[in-house]
Amino acid sequence: MNKITDLKGGFTLHNGVKMPYFGLGVFQSKDGEEVINSVKWALEAGYRHIDTASVYGNEEGVGTGIRESRVPREEIFLVSKVWNTEQGYDETMKAFENSLKRLNTDYLDLYLVHWPVRGKYKETWKALETLYKENRVRAIGVSNFLRHHLEDLLEDASIIPMVNQMEFHPYLVQQELLDYCNAKGIQYEAWSPLMQGRIFDLEIINNMAQRYNKSIANIVLRWDLQKGVVTIPKSVKKERIVSNANVFDFELSDKDMDILNNLDKKKRFGPHPRAFDFPPFITKIWNYYQRRRS
């Protein structure tokens, strides 16, 4: 097991870049005050990794939060993703520049292909390879890529993705995919690690939390780290952002790791990577409401 130390610790990607293993997710955090505050609270609490995406509609707020935190940019591992309707070589190059502008930065630490859009993701990957070779981004990766997507991508890729960000929690472990990524040197990363809030209903984890004198979130997030998986829980509440990160002063026993591993039900709370379908008009409507909410 990698040594797990504190919020500034990380796993080393196959190109040697250190990726902090614990970050803040900001999906559904409203642009403006909400996301600005959550980013600032996280950085103040010691987080050094923020995960956003162009489709979240909050990159400007993330950039403002980073700036207002006064934490030097180079201490922060900043991640964004190219959205489905932005895929293709030229489109991705443009999308990247737009994300940088909104985030008010001149580089990203990690840029991800958000979903494996059929007929597009290979061209998108070429653009990410160019950005990487031009030193515009410190690492490149994918998200929601199953094994067959990765195998297909690797047929033409000149760079192996450094990261695969997947839905991952006790109800969806996908151990075979995790093993495959580990074997290829692709860092596995969990999205919706708290099952979008539903984890808190699981009595078995509640009992474990009481035994360790920890919160349910702490148990599950510690399980991620002990499995070698990067985790990015989302919250917009200061006390949760702070308490979720209290995972560095205890260790789950092998027996409890197994109990959590065995809760797997192959259950998804997000779309399936083989059957996702976000038609362009859905994205437009989604973005429209995101802007109105802020």
Q: Which residues bind ligand NDP (CB under 6 A)?
A: 25-27, 51, 114, 143-144, 165, 191-197, 200, 217, 232-237, 240, 244, 270
Which residues, other chains included, contact 179 with Cβ-Cβ below 8 Å and sequence gap of 6+? Answer: none
| Catalytic position from the list 56, 111, 132, 188 | 56
Could you please report the per-residue DSSP string of 227-287? TT-EE--B-S-HHHHHHHT--SS----HHHHHHHHTT-----SS--TTT----HHHHHHHH
CA atoms within 13 A on the CB side of 273: 21
Which of 245, 236, 289 minimizes the C-alpha distance to 20? 245
Nearest distance, CB of residue 2 and ligand NDP, angstroms: 21
Nearest distance, CB of residue 62 and ligand NDP, angstroms: 10
Nearer to ligand NDP, 200 or 248 (CB): 200
Nearer to ligand NDP, 165 or 174 (CB): 165
Active site residue 111: no
Nearest distance, CB of residue 234 and ligand NDP, angstroms: 3
Sort 32 into a burial class: Cβ within 10 Å, 0-12 / 13-18 / 19+: middle
Please tell me the distance from the alpha carbon of residue 252 to that of residue 98, in angstroms, as a whole number: 42
Please tell me the distance from the alpha carbon of residue 10 to that of residue 228, in angstroms, as a whole number: 10
Q: CA quadruple 138, 157, 275, 120: dihedral positive or negative?
A: positive
Query: Which residue of the chain is nearest ligand NDP when measured via CB?
Result: 25
Nearer to ligand NDP, 155 or 277 (CB): 277
Nearer to ligand NDP, 236 or 259 (CB): 236
Please tell me the distance from the alpha carbon of residue 122 to that of residue 89, in angstroms, as a whole number: 9
Nearer to ligand NDP, 133 or 267 (CB): 267
Nearest distance, CB of residue 265 and ligand NDP, angstroms: 16
Strand, coil or helix: what is 189? strand
Q: Which residues are known to be catalytic?
A: 56
